[in-house]
A = this chain, B = another copy of it.
Amino acid sequence: MLEEVQSGRVPVGEALERLRTFPYESLGFARVDNHRALRKGFPEVVFCQGKTVEQVVGVVRALAGSGQTVLATRAGRPVYEAVRSEFANAEYSEPGRALVVRNGETILPKGNVLVMTAGTADLPVAEEAAVTAEVMGNKVERLYDVGVAGIHRLLDHLDALRRAHVVIVVAGMEGALPGVVGGLTDRPVIAVPTSVGYGASFGGLAALLGMLNSCASGVGVVNIDNGFGAGALASAITSLIGEKG
């Protein structure tokens, strides 16, 4: 643009205006915003909690209408039904309360993400993570109810562990599973504490502290019940597959 100014093709006033109107684009990170969906298959995300059905539908309409894939998390069934009446191809994970409206782009597969849970009650958070990782272009394998109180159930499935590039481990109560898994694999492990439990689980605090104190290396922790965050982090990691070092 500066060359255009020098050559007179762009007047100073207009150049000034353009600099003013995209100050952060000149910093180089705004382009990422504009193009990342095309480049990486990363969809726009809508966090539905605390929004009315109408608000969610409005946002989904705007985003999907512009040709982007949309992921809506914490979406109840009424949201899904309202969206489906406009977008017939809307997909919905009831347990994960996640809604996806895909557009026609073809996303190249990035990597394999294994999503594990300690108990069956951790399933909703795990599904949110799984759907998130899938819609961002990953192949997701699920391995549920393999908590440490029955360690043999976990050891039966070491093959699944070996296939994964990244492992998401979802657990409430004592939160011990990520530490065990982290000792069985060299892959990055993303630990998701859940608010599942009672008594001294204190809404997920016990699981959170357990995961942060894990003696295994290679474990990163996200917020309690944050399945979306785990899926997004997993996808940020698998994006490195195939890059040059």
Contacts of A212 in B (CB 8 A): 199-200, 206, 208, 221-224
In angstroms, how far is the closest chain B Cβ from the Cβ of A196? 8
Contacts of A94 in B (CB 8 A): none
Interface residues of A in 144-197 (CB under 8 A from B): 147-152, 155-156, 158, 162, 165-166, 173-176, 179-180, 182-188, 190, 193, 195-197
CA distance A32 to B179 in the complex (A): 17
- B183 contacts A214, CB within 8 Å? no
Q: Indicate which residue in B36, B119, B183, B215 contacts A215 across the interface (CB closer than 8 Å).
A: B119
Stretch at the interface among A8-16, A60-68, A83-91, A95-103: A8-16
Beyond A176-B148, A213-B200, whether A186 also contacts B238 by CB under 8 A is: no
Q: Indicate which residue in B6, B176, B187 contacts A179 across the interface (CB closer than 8 Å).
A: B176
- A111 contacts B245, CB within 8 Å? yes
Chain A 52-81 interface mask (CB, 8 Å, partner B; 1/0): 000000000000000000000000000000
Contacts of A49 in B (CB 8 A): 198
- A155 contacts B27, CB within 8 Å? yes
Beyond A16-B2, A27-B155, A215-B173, whether A188 also contacts B237 by CB under 8 A is: yes
Given contacts A186-B236, A200-B223, 18 further A-B contacts (CB under 8 A): A2-B12, A19-B26, A23-B152, A119-B215, A149-B214, A149-B216, A173-B215, A174-B179, A174-B210, A175-B176, A187-B236, A198-B226, A199-B213, A202-B209, A206-B209, A212-B224, A220-B221, A220-B233
